[in-house]
Amino acid sequence: MPENEQLPDKLQVARYLLRQGSVFVHLDPRDVRVVVPQWYRSEPQLVLQIGLNMPVPIPDLRVDEEGVYGTLSFNRSPFTCRIDWDAVFALAGDDGRGMVWPDSMPEEISQEIEREAGRAAPPDLPEERPSLRLLPKVDGSEREDITPRQVTTKPGELPPYLKVIK
């Protein structure tokens, strides 16, 4: 997208993705306008999954001009979360498609992306690939170990390599 074009509104993208299924909300939990469990507040990124038909329903889910509000499940314990749109830097649907707002991204995440982008590309595969080749035919007389062995048993007996399990 050209730099002079404005990115779509986070609320519009969230509502569109919610109509498709669940939404993964990427946010900075350190923002003072974010309410999430305390043990997540020191990390630069938190990803929450919201949706209208989740396995653990979110009956109070609200996605409006202020942000996202709802009681989510953390380790099977309910916690009422509030996420301001300013803390959200990416939204993605079930299929992985979504939107990123680079200006809202925490500095640590931006730096990590830049480091990953700067890594060397994987080396090219060699031009010549190994090919299959036909092995010479082995005469049966030379390899006795590959011929089936005849096992003789009395009527009603099982061969020694079989046993009855009851």
Digit-coded pLDDT (tens) for 29-51: 999 999 999 999 999 999 999 99
Is the model's pLDDT at 80 over the cut of 90?
Answer: yes
Tell me what the mean pLDDT of segment 1-8 comes to. Answer: 69
Residues 99/7, Cβ–Cβ less than 8 Å: yes
State the CATH number of the domain containing residue 44.
Answer: 2.30.30.220
Residues 71/83, Cβ–Cβ less than 8 Å: no
Element at 11 (helix H, strand E): helix 10-20
Is the model's pLDDT at 68 over the cut of 90?
Answer: yes
Is the model's pLDDT at 1 over the cut of 60?
Answer: no
pLDDT of residue 66: 95
User: How many domains are there within the chain?
Assistant: 1
pLDDT of residue 86: 95
Residue 144 in any domain: the answer is no
Angstrom distance (rounded) from CA 21 to CA 52: 7
| Domain containing residue 24 | 10-112
Q: Kindly provide the residue ranges of all beta strands, DSSP E only, lying in the chain, ordered along the sequence.
A: 23-27, 46-50, 62-63, 67-74, 77-84, 88-93, 98-100
Tell me what the mean pLDDT of segment 38-65 comes to. Answer: 93
- In angstroms, how far apart are the furthest CA atoms of the chain? 89
pLDDT of residue 115: 83
Q: Report pLDDT digits (tens) over 92-147.
A: 999 989 999 999 999 888 888 888 877 655 566 666 666 666 667 766 555 555 44
Residue 134 in any domain: the answer is no
Residue 72 in any domain: the answer is yes
Residue 150 in any domain: the answer is no
Residue 153 in any domain: the answer is no
Tell me what the mean pLDDT of segment 5-9 comes to. Answer: 86
Tell me what the mean pLDDT of segment 58-85 comes to. Answer: 95
User: What values do phi and psi take at 15, rounded to 5?
Assistant: -65, -40
Residue 99 in any domain: the answer is yes
